[in-house]
């Protein structure tokens, strides 16, 4: 069967702590608010924006939400090695990014799918996700895809947002001056790879959030007591 979701309520709880079994690296989670992302159509895209933005290659998920503005936040892990002294420049990694649709607990999780994807086609522990080759991820509305024509390589507002923040993890909320369309971008955990996005649903079946997991934190069973 496909990969199953982890406990994302735990991962998005400030102060949650985990330990990597082999290295002993300890991570402590804090939440970073990325502001309100405008979704004019409610069709959500998650991708590496440096690769996909404006290319017409990233398709929105089949699950949609009501148009509106929704909070984006990142679960950022501060990592320390065993015996490492305190540092003025902490080691930060985005463990997961979340687009909050409603402030209700998620009682169930499902993989976010694009058109043509079928869970029945996945083998054990497989998942659908987006590829990262520029160390970044993002959420944005499908209507915004062509609103950032100059976001290519080391130029444009997307690059500027990271460069001017000394490549802080984010989230960075970026607005296109001509249209007002937005994207929320953040660094992608350890960098390049393929990462799944999950949909949280409430007890009544409504969508509560979209979560992209960057596989920084191990499972809850590896968290220290």
Q: Is 130 exposed, middle or buried (CB count within 10 Å of its CB: 0-12, 13-18, 19+)?
A: buried
The confidence band for 81, taking pLDDT boundaries of 50, 70 and 90, is: confident
Across 8-22, 114-128, 148-162, least confident range? 148-162
Question: Chain-wide mean pLDDT for the chain?
Answer: 91
Given a cut of 70, whether residue 225 has pLDDT beyond it is no
Share of the chain above pLDDT 90, in %: 71
Say what the pLDDT of residue 152 is. Answer: 61
Given a cut of 90, whether residue 53 has pLDDT beyond it is no
Whole-model pTM above 0.85?
Answer: yes
Share of the chain above pLDDT 70, in %: 94
Given a cut of 70, whether residue 47 has pLDDT beyond it is yes
Given a cut of 90, whether residue 219 has pLDDT beyond it is no
């Amino acid at each position: 069967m496909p990969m199953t979701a982890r406990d994302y309520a735990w991962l998005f709880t400030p102060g949650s702590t985990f330990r990597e079994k082999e290295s002993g690296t300890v991570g402590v989670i804090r939440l970073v608010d990325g502001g309100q992302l405008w979704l004019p159509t409610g069709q959500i895209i998650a991708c590496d924006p440096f690769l996909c933005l404006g290319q017409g290659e990233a398709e929105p998920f089949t699950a949609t939400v009501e148009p509106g503005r929704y909070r984006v936040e990142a679960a950022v892990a501060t990592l320390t090695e065993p015996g490492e002294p305190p540092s003025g420049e902490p080691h930060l990694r985005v463990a997961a990014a979340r687009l909050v649709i409603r402030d209700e607990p998620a009682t169930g999780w499902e993989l976010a799918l694009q058109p043509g994807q079928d869970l029945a086609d996945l083998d054990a522990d497989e998942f659908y996700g987006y590829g990262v080759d520029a160390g970044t991820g993002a959420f944005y509305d499908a209507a915004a895809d062509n609103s950032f024509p100059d976001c290519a390589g080391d130029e444009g507002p997307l690059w500027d947002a990271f460069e001017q923040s000394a490549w802080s993890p984010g989230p960075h909320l970026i607005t296109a001056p001509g249209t007002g369309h937005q994207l929320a971008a953040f660094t992608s955990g350890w960098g390049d790879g393929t990462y799944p996005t999950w949909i949280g649903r409430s007890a009544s079946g409504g969508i509560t959030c979209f979560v992209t997991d960057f596989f920084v934190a191990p499972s809850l069973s590896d968290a220290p007591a």
